[in-house]
Chain A
């Protein structure tokens, strides 16, 4: 078990190196610092001096991978790659265009992101499982049919319509909560309620339908027939047998997103003006702030890989077949 974990973590290292290389390629090689400078300073009428100055200020004047002019180890360390990409490994993200420290910004923005993403995740999971179980229980009846139809329609609507519709109804028409914004501490609840509600509703189609298929797959397995042959009641079959088995793929399947909850949701945060990492990312994309985008790419990958490792761990906890081998 321990050696398995060690191996999983060791396997993450080359992947992170790969991610780093890809981001380096995307952000520095394909798009040279000169291009970045021109983009930031405006496309037209940019003097070479201005570009040079811009690069100098941000340390983009150095060679990419190999500095033949620098002495000693400087040949490797006095490069953009070493300055900009390598420090990502110890979460040194550098500074954004506006000069702020990205790492500090990320720490400050994780809270608001989590304030939305975590409730959406937890409430959503509980709601979808309940809904799916209901549909599976009434399988083949009109309740099930209506549920599935509802799911298909719900998943056919773009998430943005949920947000726009929700903001219009709840905030504008009924005036229940503010349309957007955020507050620290307990006051945050009235800014959080609507995004969470919309987040949960927005995900119901895909998830509940998916869980329903998992339940139905379990319902048709041999051991359920054995449980029936024992004369057990239908609700005991559903809860003690079917649910217990179906929860393994469901729970281990969602574990992978838990670390990524820190990243927040791009759309929700930007629509509701929540100062989280999602809206930070969108702003960075719109301002073409490559340093921030690069940091978010790396952070996102790290969190995803942590999620993968957690998934493996959760499998070993949830499934005796893996735990005991």
Chain B
């Protein structure tokens, strides 16, 4: 069978799929075990946590769609051998339609109809003059931009709001119907308990959050059909498109770096804590040594090396694959440099569990050391792992931005928040100022990191409120932060 396109699975995509599969499996397992479900129920009761989860879910879904990559076929040559475009596209690209290809020449302000820079043009009467030329795509449909622009924009925005309200009402209807069905009560009653917050899940807060998201995004996309809602950047690319594409990079780093370090931290931490003796000495020595090297510098050294390596070997078919290799390497390096603090935490917890009565009882049965570590200790430190994963996420997203600025983050050609800020920073000096790239990166990043932080707080409170601070974040250098006493 011939697919109409050629699926491409980048390395990071593959890892993301593994991660998603693992999460689904884990969720399925937890659902069947009441005692494992209990702390998640507590997360579910947290109003801020669940509202954050709604936002996070939308952003995660966007990022996930951007992980489904393929190459479209080119008109095949006479020999009939299928040829594919060197450009790798994702489902998200398809969903965003022409946003990707509607490039202008250079900067244009949000919703503008004209370029941000004057150009010399030839008038029909043969005269030359410097004017702001019309955009190739943004507001093209307007006959007379000066006269119709305001009306058109507000009409479309209102239309977007109307759609958002309708969509929200549909959502509301679905939730209330669901509640009524589950509880076998009348719709009115279901409506009442949902709205009064008498459910286990904070549906009211979640619905409000969803409503705000719809009100924010739907008009944005309605307008995006005809305008560059968030403007264009130096080479004329749509900023909304760039921001959404940057999401994937942030999400991949936030999740995969932790995924990479987990096996190290778990295996070494538990072994050091349980076996003691020379294993403990060795593990402690390794993590003290590694953590004593300033994190950014270790990362910088790693990235510089890997970059040299990638440059030397031209293995990659497409630029996307080359960029992806660097992203993956960055995740690996962040993981390898970041396992130490989680390892230390797990070692400490294992030392405690080692003396617990149930481990002693298992030893009295002659249970093997491997089995004690896997059956008795591992399940009882998992809560720390879960907290570490969710708490590190936001720290890593923030770290990406800084590392890209320093020049040791993702490839400069990759869409990422760090690169957006980095280029936007240079535009700040222009007069008048180009502020929209920066503002878009700011809003989307804040949305992502804030919701991740709020969700992480809810998870931590539910699993073990005593654990505080970031796990990788602690290893990531105080130097990275703009200031502070270095936590």
Contact = CB atoms under 8 A, between A and B. Distances in A.
| Contact flag (A, B; Cβ within 8 A) | yes
Interface of A: 14-15, 18-19, 22-23, 26-27, 30-31, 35, 39, 43, 120-121, 124-125, 128, 152-153, 155-164, 167-168, 196, 198-204, 206-207, 210, 213, 253-254, 256-257, 260, 263-268, 278, 281-282, 285-286, 288, 290, 293, 296-297, 300-301, 304-305, 308
Contacts of A257: 478, 485-486
A92 B300 CA distance: 22
Given A158-B398, A158-B421, A285-B406, A254 B294 contact: no
Contacts of B304: 31, 285, 288, 290, 293
A300 B487 CA distance: 16
Given A158-B401, A210-B469, A265 B292 contact: no
A281 B408 CA distance: 12
A314 to B, nearest CB: 14
Given A160-B482, A206-B487, A266-B479, A301 B294 contact: yes
A124 B128 CA distance: 58
B302 interface: yes
Interface centre among A120, A124, A152 (most CB of B within 10 A): A152
Q: Is the interface of B mostly helix, strand, loop or mixed?
A: helix
B402 interface: yes
B81 to A, nearest CB: 32
B402 A22 contact: no
A281 B484 contact: no
Nearest to B398: A158
Contact of A160 (B288, B421, B486): B421
Nearest to B295: A300
A204 B446 contact: no
Contacts of B15: none
A203 B482 contact: yes
A113 to B, nearest CB: 10
A167 B433 CA distance: 13
Interface size class of B (residues with CB under 8 A): 35 or more
Interface in B364-407: 394, 398, 401-402, 405-407
A282 B484 contact: no
A311 to B, nearest CB: 12
B482 A152 contact: no
A14 B407 CA distance: 32
A203 B406 contact: no
A22 B293 contact: yes
A46 to B, nearest CB: 12
Interface in B240-265: none
